Chain A
Amino acid sequence: AQSVTQLDSQVPVFEEAPVELRCNYSSSVSVYLFWYVQYPNQGLQLLLKYLSGSTLVKGINGFEAEFNKSQTSFHLRKPSVHISDTAEYFCAVSETGFQKLVFGTGTRLLVSP
């Protein structure tokens, strides 16, 4: 069965510093990988996805992620964060249909001045 692990429940960082949010997955078949962002009191919105092809994917708001099949990872990175990036970030995997996403437990990114 597929699963997603986000080891960091909270990541504090200063504004303009780089950040990496870690995501590892397990699956017995090929998967599709996603990062979603949830701003306070909002629903989730798609940040970026890996479906196939290039392992480095770019998303909205300057975020990017790299799919590493050998390490079963899909870490999210941003070279310079802003206060407005403060939110909760969820890694998700799908192997049997996009309507059946399996989410990680989320990482709260806290950006301070």
Chain B
Amino acid sequence: NAGVTQTPKFQVLKTGQSMTLQCAQDMNHEYMSWYRQDPGMGLRLIHYSVGAGITDQGEVPNGYNVSRSTTEDFPLRLLSAAPSQTSVYFCASIRTGGFEAFFGQGTRLTVV
């Protein structure tokens, strides 16, 4: 049982490039979320999903897109990377009726 898997673990992008951060969970959880972690700011919610085909914005959604075509996958897309998006990104999932968020190990993204 792998839990929540994020790929890649590290990535360096140039300003203006696009990329997709992958998140997959094998626990059949309905709820999934993306957070970014910045020094001195804790974790902030970017986007979340309550099931396949349903997504919504969190606290800091600008510059990011998401979609949820399957229960297992919840990719996060950066359409045009900016230095302000340099951060550590965490994906999390929660089962329906549950309360515990299971986190992936994170993707450390640097935009130069």
Chain A residues close to B by CB (< 8 Å):
4, 6, 9, 32, 34, 36, 41-46, 49, 51, 90, 97-106
Contact = CB atoms under 8 A, between A and B. Distances in A.
Interface of B: 4, 31-33, 35, 40-45, 48-50, 58-59, 90, 92, 94, 98-101, 103-106
A58 B8 CA distance: 35
B100 A100 contact: no
Contact of A46 (B40, B49, B101): B101
Given A43-B90, A99-B31, A90 B42 contact: yes
Contacts of A105: 40-42
Contact of B105 (A43, A90, A102): A43
A19 to B, nearest CB: 20
Contacts of A44: 43, 90, 92, 101, 103
Contacts of A99: 31-33, 48-50, 92, 94, 101
A104 B90 CA distance: 16
B40 A45 contact: no
